[in-house]
Amino acid sequence: MTTPAIEMDKLTKRYGETIAVSEVSMSVSAGSVYGFLGPNGAGKTTTMSLLTTLTRPTSGTARVAGHSIENREAVTPHIGYLPEDPPIYDELTGREQLEYVAGLRDLPEDESSKRIDEMLDRFDLSADANKRISGYSKGMRQKVGVIQAVLHEPAVAFLDEPTSGLDPRAARTMRDTIAELAEQEMTIFLSTHILPVVDELADTIGVLHDGELVAEGDPEMLKSRAETGESATLEDAFLAVTTDEEAATEEVAAGQSV
Ligand SMILES: Nc1ncnc2c1ncn2[C@@H]1O[C@H](COP(=O)(O)OP(=O)(O)OP(=O)(O)O)[C@@H](O)[C@H]1O
């Protein structure tokens, strides 16, 4: 059996009185797309900060690409992260920003410049690649953020709202790119509020609510739990598991979902 790309065991993060992430345990198969859902404030960003080693857990453990998150140097070469606000330098051009990131990752120059060109072209950014990022639109910045997260072909990419700010064509390109990267065995940990994106791409969906993993399964399985008839959507399922907290917890306890 191959090592899971992500494993969490009772991962917990407290901020004073607030329990942002509460004893979350899960396993994400290598090469799969994991859709990570939850209402505002559920703890998704905190979970991704923990898994990308930007925040330390209060208790519990996790391994990413086979390495403990306690060991930042071991984990970071294997991951890419698109946070809500991607770290990019306004004074650089799009191409310079990507070359800078490739340099940080020690990528061979000829290989990385070919991949940068290919990704810029794919996201329709080639014509603006030599313009300063300060003049980029929100969507253009988002494209740069995504490209830099996957440029080094990490084993696991954490993407927080990757289609945010993108026009319909660019959003389509983003979804196609995510599917393609997963086909190439990259594990994608995808957090978004746009449920059709998750429905289309995710092999497994986990729903976080008040820091707890209240449901987990493939999209069809989750929909079948919504109890709104045969035409239940992922939105119905999401609302069911994040509003009827007691029932969800009971099912978790009964081992029906997690
Ligand atoms: N640095 C921090 N200090 C104190 N509390 C925090 C901090 N970061 C997050 N929290 C709290 O932890 C909880 C989870 O927040 P988090 O940002 O992880 O949620 P989220 O699921 O990403 O929400 P959203 O969908 O709105 O982005 C919230 O109650 C939030 O107020």
Q: What is the pLDDT of residues 65-122, one digit of tens each?
A: 999 999 999 999 999 999 988 999 999 999 999 999 999 988 888 889 999 999 999 9
> Quick check: CB of 17 below 6 Å from ligand 1?
no
**Residue of the CA atom closest to atom 6 of ligand 1:** 15
- Domain 6-253 - what CATH class? alpha beta
Cα distance between residue 144 and residue 86, in whole Å: 8
Cα distance between residue 127 and residue 109, in whole Å: 21
> Quick check: CB of 41 below 6 Å from ligand 1?
yes
Name every residue whose Cβ is closer than 8 Å to that of residue 57 and which is 6 or more positions away in sequence.
11, 12, 13, 21, 50, 69
- What's the pTM value of the predicted model, to 2 decimals? 0.91
Quote the pLDDT of residue 248: 47
Quote the pLDDT of residue 228: 62
**Residue of the CA atom closest to atom 8 of ligand 1:** 46
ipTM of the complex: 0.97
Cα distance between residue 88 and residue 93, in whole Å: 10
Domain locations along the chain: 6-253
- Residue 156 Cα to ligand 1 midpoint, Å, equals 22
**Residue of the CA atom closest to atom 4 of ligand 1:** 15
Q: What is the pLDDT of residues 218-245, one digit of tens each?
A: 988 888 776 666 677 888 888 888 885 5
Closest CA to 62 of 50, 72, 76: 50
> Quick check: CB of 46 below 6 Å from ligand 1?
yes
Closest CA to 258 of 227, 212, 226, 220: 212
- Residue 51 Cα to ligand 1 midpoint, Å, equals 15
Quote the pLDDT of residue 226: 67
**Alpha helices in the chain, H assignment, sequence order:** 44-51, 72-75, 94-104, 109-122, 138-150, 168-183, 195-201, 219-224, 234-243, 245-253
